């Protein structure tokens, strides 16, 4: 009985180490993605396409007729353009028009 408890304890500790390492890796991947998106935002090529994809993803998940978008103040024009393209693609595929507005009262932080 004592050996089984010891084996179980060791197995649990090993599982916890693996889960901790996995969580660290996922955290690093999110950090890299965040930095990559910040860099992409500074370059104009491709950023609008990324924005369009993110907006479309949200549209598919929400499936609402009116959506409010939040962005950085400096990205407003890019987000408007991407939102228009996303809306057209959404209407083409789903057959439902969506009204999108940019929340100009609560801008996202510049470092986001």
Query: pLDDT tens string for the chain (112 positions)?
Result: 788 888 889 999 999 999 999 999 999 998 888 787 777 666 666 888 889 999 999 999 999 999 999 999 988 999 999 999 999 999 999 999 999 999 999 999 987 7
Q: Give the start-to-end residue ranges of the domains of the chain.
A: 1-43, 46-112
pTM: 0.62
Assigned architecture for domain 46-112? 2-Layer Sandwich (3.30)
d(CA 56, CA 88): 10
Q: DSSP 3-state assignment of 39? A: helix
Q: Return the exposure string of 6-36: e unless at least 16 CB atoms fall within 10 Å of the residue's CB, then b.
A: eeeeeeeeeeeeeeeeeeeeeeeeeeeeeee
Closest C-alpha among 48, 46, 56 to residue 86: 56
For residue 41, give every residue at least 6 positions away whose Cβ sits within 8 Å of its Cβ, in sequence order, or none: 47, 72, 75
Looking at residue 80, the DSSP 8-state letter turns out to be H
């Amino acid at each position: 009985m004592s050996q089984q408890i010891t084996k179980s304890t060791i197995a649990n500790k090993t599982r916890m180490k693996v889960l901790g390492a996995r969580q660290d890796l996922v955290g690093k991947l999110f950090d890299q993605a965040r930095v990559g998106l910040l860099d992409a935002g500074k370059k104009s090529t491709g950023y609008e396409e990324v924005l369009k994809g993110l907006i479309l993803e949200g549209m598919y998940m929400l499936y609402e007729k009116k959506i409010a978008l939040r962005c950085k103040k400096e990205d407003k024009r890019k987000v408007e353009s991407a939102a228009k393209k996303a809306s057209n693609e959404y209407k083409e595929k789903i057959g439902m028009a969506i009204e999108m507005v940019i929340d100009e009262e609560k801008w996202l932080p510049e470092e986001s």
